[in-house]
A = this chain, B = another copy of it.
């Protein structure tokens, strides 16, 4: 039974838990005979079941995208989802899930493998982005939704939005690909490799079987997050927020041993905070999904990577994003243009780096809002 919450701004939010009992054959060759998915919904599904929007989360996201949860914590995309917001819950029925392999209740390394009675840990199968999309499609079928008005995601979420457009072309009216890339660069992979090695170097890691021993590789996971975190922020915004300011220390401290810059203190805080809610095996698994993602690897003929897609596309990039730079988004756009797809591209001026996709920005909000309301209008006319 879904729990219902009503947030102060009138957001209708439910939190749900469903067991998918059909087997999911994964890209790696293994099969999940059944799996559990936790998801939230915001806003109401219309009678024609035509206003559903799927939100795809990124590396560290989860089902709680909007409103306040039971602990009073805001969703990770609360700036964008809600009544009157760009993804307007007065118009759309928004579904946000925790994907399998992550660690917020859906089946993953931090859940119990019923076949063994133990935590999956590192024995959880390797996943690819298409496995997430297939699992999301199974949920879609359970919910008896035939089409998504939009599949929307930033970063790794954008990669899912791409995959949806080609894997299930008849189920997607529009795909919104934000701050994403066709594939990771060697530098992207390098940062992920350091993150994984940080975790694997932790004396509590125990080859990934730490949960069954009551251990957590917190030091390694904190480091991994710190490495990732730098890549989400621009040099500019770090300079603007922290510069070379010192934290709580007397700059005349004779020995200058204890001087700590605010940026160091901030990063350490972010790293430590992350270990309280994220699982290290999930971090390894999902960074590997990112590394392995290669949308150009889908190329059929004439380099047509979006060949099967039928939907319209909105691609968005941010000027100061150096994790997935505007050039990455522009390669996606170029493919779409070359393949004669319906694409709108927004390059947003922002000094906030990759994190821009989560943060308020008027032009981004207006562009996303306009695209979605137009898509709704187009499809309402079509159905009328």
**Chain A interface (Cβ within 8 Å of chain B)?**
27-30, 125-126, 128, 183-187, 189-191, 193-194, 197-198, 201-203, 219-220, 222-223, 226-227, 230, 233, 235, 238-239, 241-244, 254-257, 259, 261, 263-264, 267-268, 271, 291-292, 294
> Contacts A28-B255, A255-B125, A263-B189: A294 and B226 contacting too (C-beta < 8 A)?
no
Within 8 Å by CB of A189, from B202, B223, B264, lies B264
Bound-state Cα–Cα, A239 to B294, Å: 15
Q: A244-B294, A256-B292 are in contact. List 14 more A-B contacts (CB 8 A).
A: A27-B256, A126-B255, A183-B244, A185-B238, A186-B238, A186-B261, A186-B263, A187-B235, A187-B239, A189-B261, A194-B230, A197-B268, A201-B220, A259-B292
**Smallest CB-CB separation from A243: which chain B residue?**
B186
Do A226 and B261 form a contact, CB below 8 Å, given A202-B201, A241-B186? no
Would A223 and B238 be within 8 Å (CB), given that A186-B261, A267-B190 are in contact?
no
Q: State the 4 A-B residue pairs at the shortest beta-carbon distance, nearest first.
A: A186-B238, A193-B264, A201-B219, A186-B263
With a CB–CB cut-off of 8 A, which chain B residues contact A186?
235, 238-239, 241-244, 261, 263
Residues of B near A256 (CB, < 8 A) are: 27-28, 126, 128, 292
Name the residue on B nearest A296 (C-beta): B244
Q: A219-B201, A256-B27 are in contact. Are A264 and B190 (CB under 8 A)?
A: yes
Minimum distance in angstroms from A360 CB to a CB of chain B:
22
* Nearest chain B CB to A254 CB, angstrom units: 4
Q: Give the distance in Å from the alpha carbon of A298 to the alpha carbon of B197 in the complex.
A: 40
Specify which chain B residues have a CB less than 8 angstroms from the CB of A128 in the assembled complex.
256
In the complex where A28-B254, A223-B198, A292-B256 touch, is A193 in contact with B267 (Cβ < 8 A)?
A: yes
Closest Cβ of chain B to A37, distance in Å, is 23
A27 to B257, CA, bound (A): 12
Please indicate the chain B residues that have their CB under 8 angstroms from the CB of A183 in the complex.
244
Indicate if the CB atoms of B261 and A291 lie closer than 8 Å.
yes
State whether A261 and B185 are in contact (beta carbons under 8 Å apart), knowing that A126-B256, A203-B203, A255-B125 are contacts in the complex: no
Return A74 CB to nearest CB of chain B, in Å. Answer: 26
Residues of B within 8 A of A244 (CB): 183-184, 186, 189, 294
- Select which of B185, B223, B257 is within 8 A of A197 by beta carbon: B223
In the assembly, what is the distance between CA of A244 and CA of B185, in Å? Answer: 7
Q: In whole angstroms, how far apart are the Cα atoms of A184 and B263 in the complex? A: 12
Offer 11 A-B interface pairs, CB within 8 angstroms, sorted by A.
A28-B256, A28-B257, A184-B244, A185-B235, A185-B239, A186-B243, A186-B261, A193-B263, A194-B267, A198-B223, A261-B291
Q: Which B residues touch A254, using CB under 8 A?
A: 28-29
**Given the complex, which residues of B lie within 8 Å of A235, measured CB to CB?**
185-187
Q: How many Å lie between the Cα of A187 and that of B203 in the bound state?
A: 28
Q: Is the CB of A187 within 8 A of B238?
A: yes
A189: min CB distance to chain B, Å? 5
With both chains docked as a complex, state the minimum distance between the C-beta of A244 and any C-beta of chain B, in angstroms. 7
Q: Are A193 and B268 in contact (CB under 8 A)?
A: yes
A261 to B291, CA, bound (A): 9
Q: Contacts of A226 on B, CB cut-off 8 Å? A: 190, 193-194, 197
Residues of B within 8 A of A291 (CB): 261
Closest to A240 in B: B186
CA distance A162 to B371 in the complex (A): 54
Contacts of A257 in B (CB 8 A): 28, 126
Instruction: Give bound CA distance, A189 to B262, whole Å.
Output: 10
The residue in A28, A187, A223 that gathers the most chain B C-beta atoms within 10 A of its C-beta is A187
